[in-house]
Chains A and B, each alone.
Chain A
Amino acid sequence: GQQLNQSPQSMFIQEGEDVSMNCTSSSIFNTWLWYKQDPGEGPVLLIALYKAGELTSNGRLTAQFGITRKDSFLNISASIPSDVGIYFCAVTGTASKLTFGTGTRLQVTL
């Protein structure tokens, strides 16, 4: 089945640093989504990307839809402690089914 590979798997950063993570697939997709999941909670949509090459921001978060439509990138600028959590990329398929990536666990140290 479809598989989305995210890297890095986990990362430790210091408060104030910028963060970059990516998501790759062997298949082409027309919509890429980025979610954040806090412990004990469901995923929350951060950014949705609908067009190849599109660059979209949401506050300190910026995401790009790769030009090949097989990848996407998420950047977080000036990280703060509440950025801690697991970040998932996701793509859409038939019946609006979401396929999630393997996740990137982010931990921020003071």
Chain B
Amino acid sequence: ETGVTQSPTHLIKTRGQQVTLRCSSQSGHNTVSWYQQALGQGPQFIFQYYREEENGRGNFPPRFSGLQFPNYSSELNVNALELDDSALYLCASSTDGNYGYTFGSGTRLTVV
């Protein structure tokens, strides 16, 4: 069984631009969560999707949005990028939101 895969692995964007990050959940997992990890810090919860509906959100502004597709893959969209958005973005999937989350290797976003 494949794990969680994220794309792209690295990305450089200019302040003010928009970005879309992608995540393929582990086979059989119907819940996906996104986390932002700034350098030297622990991951911070952005939001979670369960069966294509957002069912939890952390302290992030509305310019952070997401989607979950029928095959349970997911996208994270960030509009109007700011320099502080530079971070590692992690996707994690699980079955029915239980605590056995499997994390992907992340997308390293740099905003210049």
Contacts and interface: CB of A to CB of B under 8 A. Distances in A.
Interface of A: 1, 4, 31, 33, 40-45, 48, 88, 90, 92, 94-103
Q: What's the interface size class on B, roughly?
A: 20 to 34
Contacts of A41: 105-106
A43 B45 CA distance: 13
A101 B35 CA distance: 14
Contact of A42 (B41, B42, B99, B103): B103
Interface string B43-67: 1110010000001101100000000
Contacts of B101: 45, 98
A41 B90 CA distance: 9
Given A42-B90, A90-B42, 6 more contacts: A45-B100, A96-B31, A98-B45, A98-B99, A98-B101, A102-B42
Nearest to B6: A42
A96 B42 contact: no
B45 A48 contact: no
Given A96-B31, A99-B45, A40 B105 contact: yes
